[in-house]
Structures are given as C-alpha cells and as structure tokens.
Structure 1
C-alpha cells in the first residue's frame, strides 16, 4: 500500500477485490458481466421502446425512460471497472476515474413532466458536483486503499487526515435525511394509489396495479435501506465482506431488476417491445 503524505501526491486508488483466488475472480467477472448485460439490455430496450412508440409518449413512460437512463448511468460507472479489475487481476483505479465514479452527469428529456424531470436531474447533478469537489479536496494521508469495489465516498473519507472531512459527513447526513423524506413521499404516493385502486371493482385492475407497484416499492425500499445502512452504520458493524454485499444490493441490483418489473408486468410495454423486435427483424430480411 502506498503511504502518500497528502492528497496531492495520490495518482490512483486501490479498490477492494471480492475474492483472492484466480478462479473466483473469474467467476465474479462472469457474474457481474451477466448482471451488467441484463441491465444494459433491459434498460436499453425500455428507452428504445418508449422513444420509438408514440403510444408510450405519456407521463408514466416518460418517467420510466428517465429511470432507465438513471439506472444505466449508475451501473455503467461502477460495474465495468470492477469487472476489468477481476479479469486482469488488478486493484488500481486512477484519481480522475475515481472522481468520475462518485457521481455521473446525465441527460434530460407536456411541460410539467419536463420540469419535474429537470428538477430531479438538476438536483442530482448539483449534489454530485458538491460531493465530488468536496471529497477530493480533503487531504488524504491514510494510504490509497479503499475497502470497496468502487469509489464510495465513505471509504475515501476514512483516508482523511484532517477534521475537514466533517463538512462532507454533514453533507452526507443531510442528503440521507432528504433521501428518507423522498422515500416517505414515495410511500405516501403508493398509499394513495392503493386506496384509489381498492375503490375499483375490477379484480384485474387490482392485480395489474399491485403486481407492478409492490415489486417497485420493494426495490426502492432495498435501495434506500441498504444505501443508508452503508453510509450511516456504526464502525463496529463495518467489515469488508458486509460492505461489499451492501454496496452490490444498492448499486448493482436495482438497475438490473427495474426493467424486469416494468417490462414483464406491463402489457403496453411488452407490445411495444414486440413491435420493435418485429420491425428490426423485418429490416434485416
């Protein structure tokens, strides 16, 4: 492990490997490759279907397209590097590469929907800039080895050698309070949806709504709970294996699972995907 005196001399970080043996490293590579390709294919199909089928140009599918863009950005910034490190048996990530992994810039896509999406992307981008600038200007003197498979902010803060990291910790706590508020807002929205659905006499309508809402609420709950646990858990509960498992649950699983929830349980989206595949097949003939 390198022991630089301050952050200006750090040119790279060392990520934590999942396993030590070469065979298990290759198994980790193939497992993450499968998850990555599934997320890429699923989210890519949803984006293409929503963009190409005018029947899906509604607020619900507009926000679904934004979710797919978010999921692609999330998994694209972390998983490929982890796969590459396992394949080539290395741990290194460059300083600039680490800065890019802390957060990522994204794209924006009736007026109210655009304003809501712009607010979400804009606030996320501002949050990313604040975290990245604040974290990577903190003096680091505890080496350059991170106990995580990607550049997680909490792991970089552990390398700090000054009290300046307290400002970043405060910012993290504030963000998670806001995240918890967003989660309760989502939960409140679902309660309102469920109340409205229960007034519908059709059991088919109940099944359609609950079969989509409940799995999505489960994924959102998984993301929020594991994310908060990763950043707010007490030091006594911290261990490399636990950190890895929790990080996978909030950073890798949701982007791969969300397309399944919305494509497999949504007839309109399945019809659009079928139409898209048939169109591509006819063009190839």
Structure 2
C-alpha cells in the first residue's frame, strides 16, 4: 500500500483546458471534431501521395512526411486530453509525462527542419530547374526525411532528459492540457535559469536560423518568378510558394511566441492558446492548404474516387 501511495504521489495532475471556463464541453467537442478532420485529411493526403504515380516527386514525398508528422503530433495530445476530460481522471505518471514531452518536442522540431528542407526543394525547382532531378534525387529525399526525424528525436531527447531530472517541490499540478517542458519547469524547486538560456539557444538554432534560411530562399525564388516569361508558370510557382509560406507562419509563429518569450511574460492561458494553434489547428489546416490550392492533389483525389466508383459499379452490374 505504501508503494502504491508513493507511486501516486509521483504522478502529475493535468488541470486541462482553461480551468474554470464555462461551456468547456463545447470546446472539447470542437477539438474532437478538429482532431477527426485532421486525422482524416492527413491520412487521405498520405494515401493519395502513395498510390498516385503523378505525385511520386520530391515535393510530395516531403509533404507526405509532413502529413505523417502532423498526424502523429495531434494524436500525441488530443486523445489524452479528451480521455482526461470525459473520465475526470487528470493524473499522468512521470514516465508518461516524459514520453509525451519527448514525442511532442520530437515532432515539433522535426517539422521545423522538414519545412526548411521543403523551402530548399522549392528553391531548386524554381531557380535551378534543369538540375532539379539530379539534386533532389530519391536518396537525397530519404536523407532529408531521416535528418528531420533523427534531428528532432536527438534534440528532444536531450531536453526531455534534462527537464525531467529537476526535483519537484510542493504541488505537482500542471496548468496545461498536456505535459510540456516550460510548464514542468515552473514546478521545479531548483534554479532553472541556466536551462532557460539553453532553451533560448535551442530556439535560435531550431527556429530563427531555419526561418532566416526559408525567407532568404523565398526572396531568391520571388526574384526568379518575376523574371519568368510564362504567366502560367509564374502563377503555379506563386501558388505553391504561397501555400508553403502559409504553413511556415502557422508553425514558426506560435513556436517562437512560446519558446522565445521571457519567462516573466508566460501565462497559462496564453500558452494554451498558442499550443492549440500550433499542435491542434495547424495539423488540420496543412492538408487543406496544400490540397485545396493544388490541382495535382485534387486531380489525384478525383482519379481515386473515379476508380472506386467504377469498381463498385462493375461489381454491382455483375
């Protein structure tokens, strides 16, 4: 019995979405609808890229990796949050908390790396089209995917291990709907100023440097687009680039506001809003941004639906 009590005392308590807010059930229901749409749309996008030969290109391969990351990211937070809400049990073990932090950081960092590499792909496609197939070979695309996943996992592992080693004093209540590094650090009873500086340095490496690279790449891309003689080619290039830039703002904006603000400016409510934008709304928006404005993806969807309808019609006739 003592061991069980000791174990339960080591658990954290997730206070959930905006404690004390009225009509929280409406918000949770809306998040579950967003989750369903995100899982469905990202799964469809991955499936289309896999089955349609016209989408077997470097850009769509990288996009399929982004969709997979989005699918995993939102699934690492929403199911646990919804389960806690409906069951009324808000405890989470220290191991489970560390695991959630690891996966959340891994996917968030991996997406930043991948989006940066996607900007390089667009730069090569528009500014150096004759060498595109040579530069963006299948081997290079696989290396890009590996670098994104491995880089995210390595940086996340270091931060998760270091953040979870701090002793917790007093209350183990986390003012959040998920286990998150900055929220955990607020419970630590040691001086964490050195680690906070490490978080800022990591943010510069993971966020500011890639963002600078992305903006530089698109500055060169827009200069190349302006020199294009073909109006159709110019419009296609601008449509693809505008979709990617929209995704860049959705990822980097909330992340920079969360991890690059001084600790004194952090508030639980604002942090939750930013995490909802980055970890819940963005995974839903990405496939819509890339599919609704992309004729190739829409065409692949029509082809797949046409084949399914033809197959069903043939089966019924027989």
TM over 0.5: yes
Cα shift at 1:236: 4.0
Q: In the alignment, what sits opposite 1:191?
A: 219
Q: In the alignment, what sits opposite 2:92?
A: 93
Is 1:160 the equivalent of 2:162? no
My pick for the range that moved more, 264-273 or 82-91, is 82-91
* 2:92 partner SS: strand
Cα shift at 1:262: 0.8
Structure 2: tracts of 5 or more residues without a match: 1-5, 111-137
Indicate how the Cα distance of structure 1 residues 277 and 95 shifts in structure 2: closer, same or farther if over 3 A, else same. farther
Q: In the alignment, what sits opposite 1:229?
A: 257
Cα shift at 1:270: 1.1
* 2:240 partner SS: helix
* 1:13 partner SS: strand
Distance 1:226 1:188 in 2: 21
TM-score (norm 1): 0.87
Distance 1:24 1:168 in 2: 37
Q: In the alignment, what sits opposite 1:176?
A: 203
Which of 111, 128, 134 is residue 139 of structure 2 equivalent to?
111
Cα shift at 1:27: 0.6
Q: In the alignment, what sits opposite 1:53?
A: 52
C-alpha distance after superposition, 1:78-134 (max 9, x if no partner): 122222233334433332322222132789xx1111112111111111112112211
Q: In the alignment, what sits opposite 1:10?
A: 10
Cα shift at 1:283: 4.7
Indicate how the Cα distance of structure 1 residues 92 and 162 shifts in structure 2: closer, same or farther if over 3 A, else same. same
Cα shift at 1:76: 0.9
Distance 1:137 1:281 in 2: 56
Indicate how the Cα distance of structure 1 residues 135 and 280 shifts in structure 2: closer, same or farther if over 3 A, else same. farther
Which of 201, 209, 212 is residue 240 of structure 2 equivalent to?
212
Cα shift at 1:235: 4.0
* 1:252 partner SS: helix
Q: In the alignment, what sits opposite 2:39?
A: 40
Q: In the alignment, what sits opposite 1:128?
A: 156
Please provide the CA RMSD for this pair: 2.6
Distance 1:205 1:18 in 2: 47
Cα shift at 1:7: 11
Count of residues in Structure 1 that have an aligned counterpart in Structure 2 = 277
My pick for the range that moved more, 216-225 or 24-33, is 216-225
Cα shift at 1:151: 1.1
Q: Is the 8 A contact 1:7 1:137 kept in 2?
A: no
* 2:229 partner SS: coil
Structure with the higher helix share, 1 or 2: 2
Higher CA-based Rg: 2
